[in-house]
Structure 1
Amino acid sequence: MPQAEVRRARAAVAAMFAANGFVMGAWAPQIPLLLPRHGINEFDLGLLILGLGLGAVSAMLFAGRLIGRFGTVPVLRAFAFALIPTLPLIVLAPTVWLLALAMAAFGALAGCMDVAMNANAVEVERRLGRAIMSSSHGFWSLGGFLGGTLGSALIARTSAEVQALVTAALVAAVVLVAQRALRGEPPHPPQRAEGPAQGRLLPRELGIWILGGMALFSMVPEGAVLDWGALYLQDELAATTFTSGLGFAFFAGAMALMRFLGDAVRNRFGAVRTLRASAILGAVGLLIAAAAPVPALAIAGFALAGLGVANVVPILFSAAGNFPGHAAGAAISAVTMVGYAGILVAPGTIGFVAGHLGYRPTYTVLAVLLLVVASLAGRTAMADARHAPPGANPGAAPAA
């Protein structure tokens, strides 16, 4: 494949990450509005978000099987287009039951698109001969920042319905243009897997599941800021509608900034030191947000937490992909599934806890989880391995 075409494919998958992040960012300021619109409380909202998360995580294995059969490009295209109308469907749902169905569909489609775009990014990495995973996640965070910021402004100046429709139109335009340049590899049949995990649906090695647990502990704070940051700022710090939407927006923006620098930082300091320092920085940011007396300081704490957790998950994915004696695909899928339970399922539980204990103790506990991740940083040493992955194209051109 010519290098110009590979570069276009790299830009296309980056656009898909940004589009997915934009939808999630636009969703964040919509969350507090669901309570008065449907006459529900935080417990009910927690159940709805739990349904969203269960839909996402349960669909990930389904997406993996589709990718194995059809390849990453057709699957990514299909789920990207299917995701476009989901936010308007949530906002326009006339009853709680239809809202629950729309949110479950939103979670399932967003989760499947997430798996497909990560898998496609791995294939583009092989063609380029260099890592792009951290910056790909950076484009997701940038999309989240733009979606949260513009979404909050649109809601404040127009309405939730207008914001949802504008979001759908913008994402549709990005996906329509980007999908033409997507490139991938032919579908890989299961028998291509190598090593002791051949033929297994999921790996059995404890070390892989420990990496998954670390990903879970790292993604729980991200999900907590996404789903509950606006309510925390609004309920406990008396923030306005616009200001309450900035918590996740600045968290995602800080993540984007650091993820674009992530590969260079990791190449200089190594995976273990980068992950340890990142997790500690994220914990400090959450502690500042939890103790903040005013919205501005809480938003600054969320931004600092975003800088900290930005590179943790990409490093964990790399560590899983290079896990000794194991097929990379199965290891990454296991870590991804466990990890994404953090951003999609755990926030529902956090809502229940926050309803009884308050948000400040909740964010303090999340900071402790990041300190646990920092203590296990040595588990990611294999992330710095530089061997060719199974199925890599030996004729791929080097990075420009």
Structure 2
Amino acid sequence: MLDAKRGRWAVAAMFMVNGFAMGAWAPQIPLLLPRHGIGEGAMGLLILGLGLGAVSAMLFAGRLIQRFGSRFVLTGFATLLVPVLPLIVLAPTVPLLALAMMVFGAVAGCMDVAMNANAVEVERRLGRAIMSSSHGFWSLGGFLGGSLGSLIIGAAGPVTQAGTVAIVMALTVMLARPFLMQAPRPASTEDHPPAALFPRAPIVWLLGFTALLCMVPEGAIMDWSALYLTDELGLPLSAAGLGFALFSGAMAMMRFAGDAVRNRFGAVRTLRVSGLIAAGALIGAAVAPTPALALLAFGLAGLGIANTVPIMFSAAGNLPGMAHGAALSTVTMIGYAGILVAPSSIGFIAEHAGFRGTWAGLAVCLIFVAAMAGHAKVADGVRPH
């Protein structure tokens, strides 16, 4: 049990490393445009390449985890992630920048699957949920990477920031690696045949689609809440980021509390109530007459959405009869596709239906999540070995 408790904090450190890298990357984005003489459109395509690299690589993560174990895969990709930000910052040409960003996405994506798989293993050993707070550590890492990274860029420049981030990540990975949990290896390949690139079990795709519906609203609020608040509700531009700030802050707080909630009420009830809270919040955003009420609605949406994705990942990692990591990689891939789908599709819908209709439509997605909550009951199948 002591090893499991240490493993719990070790995998939390890995979640924080992944979030720290993504947070530190964000303040570098505006600096790349003048450095390479590119515009916002080209930068958007480069960022899309990063996302596509992540989602594509997730397809193969499950097979790697089955063959080598989540601990080995997690430490390997965490180590590969360390030098990626300096490579992006030091890329001398746009083609090399595009390649570095795709590598960034692929490595971070595979690490994401492996750290979720390792968190599932810790849940099994401890016999209780730890997934929500693990994702809370990712949010904390993103906050620290973004805020401290911006300060370092302002004080010492982008190259120094990238190097400092790499050093912090390397030290954290080195300290956490010895304490990560390792899943028991299967006795034979006959017991657990190699994971198919696309699992055929319908439940895997249902969980993945449900995870996608959880993540699309997150991406929509991230990308479009500021425009809605300023253009339709008259919020000053200086406060445009408050919608996503309140959303992400509420999400982080609820994720740290989410494990206790799930351990108390179970995955199904937690998912169902969370989906309904988030749906109600987005309906509130759709009908809000003032910026203050819309901001309150986005904060409530963060509370509701916070625990949905961690529950879906726990459910995928505990599906009976599935090779370790196989279902989780597919569900993760489909779910994170929602972050890629949201910016373009939401913009198209909003152009024709308006943002109020868009938020109402996203509320319907979350009502579907609540209706499908019964399929997440396997998330509670965590038992100590």
Length, aligned pairs only: 380
Alpha-carbon distance in structure 2 between the residues aligned to 1:260 and 1:94: 41
Question: Which of 318, 331, 335 in structure 1 is aligned with 2:331?
Answer: 335
Superposed, which structure 2 residues align to 1:91-106 within 5 Å? 91-106=89-104
CA separation of 1:384/1:71 partners in 2, compared to 1, >3 Å: closer, same or farther?
A: closer
- What is the CA-CA distance between 1:116 and the residue it aligns to? 1.2
Q: Deviations along 1:343-385, whole A, 9 cap, x unmatched? A: 3x32563587499679946962544433332343333344344
**SS class of match (2:190):** helix
- What is the CA-CA distance between 1:84 and the residue it aligns to? 1.7
- Aligned twin of 2:315: 319
Question: Which of 126, 129, 147 in structure 2 is aligned with 1:128?
Answer: 126
Alpha-carbon distance in structure 2 between the residues aligned to 1:114 and 1:47: 22
- Aligned twin of 1:260: 256
- Aligned twin of 2:63: 65
- What is the CA-CA distance between 1:207 and the residue it aligns to? 3.1
> Is there any run of 5+ residues in structure 1 with no aligned partner, and where?
389-393
CA separation of 1:142/1:297 partners in 2, compared to 1, >3 Å: closer, same or farther?
A: farther
- What is the CA-CA distance between 1:184 and the residue it aligns to? 0.9
- What is the CA-CA distance between 1:330 and the residue it aligns to? 3.4
**SS class of match (2:164):** helix
Alpha-carbon distance in structure 2 between the residues aligned to 1:34 and 1:299: 31
Give the letter for the 2:42 counterpart.
Answer: D
- Aligned twin of 1:53: 51
Alpha-carbon distance in structure 2 between the residues aligned to 1:30 and 1:230: 22
- What is the CA-CA distance between 1:70 and the residue it aligns to? 2.0
Superposed, which structure 2 residues align to 1:1-400 within 5 Å? 3-35=1-33, 37-155=35-153, 159-188=157-186, 190-193=189-192, 200-225=196-221, 228=223, 232=227, 239=237, 250-285=246-281, 302-323=298-319, 329-343=325-339, 345-347=340-342, 349-350=344-345, 353=348, 360=355, 364=359, 365-385=361-381, 396=385
Give the letter for the 1:11 counterpart.
Answer: W
CA separation of 1:55/1:290 partners in 2, compared to 1, >3 Å: closer, same or farther?
A: farther
CA separation of 1:167/1:305 partners in 2, compared to 1, >3 Å: closer, same or farther?
A: farther
Note if contact 1:12-1:179 (Cα within 8 Å) is conserved in structure 2.
yes
- What is the CA-CA distance between 1:182 and the residue it aligns to? 2.0
- What is the CA-CA distance between 1:29 and the residue it aligns to? 3.9
Give the letter for the 1:67 counterpart.
Answer: I
Note if contact 1:232-1:359 (Cα within 8 Å) is conserved in structure 2.
no
- What is the CA-CA distance between 1:115 and the residue it aligns to? 1.2
Alpha-carbon distance in structure 2 between the residues aligned to 1:88 and 1:374: 42
Give the letter for the 1:45 counterpart.
Answer: M
Alpha-carbon distance in structure 2 between the residues aligned to 1:255 and 1:280: 15
> Is there any run of 5+ residues in structure 2 with no aligned partner, and where?
none
Question: Percent identity of the aligned residues?
Answer: 60
- Aligned twin of 1:391: none
Alpha-carbon distance in structure 1 between the residues aligned to 2:284 and 2:214: 17
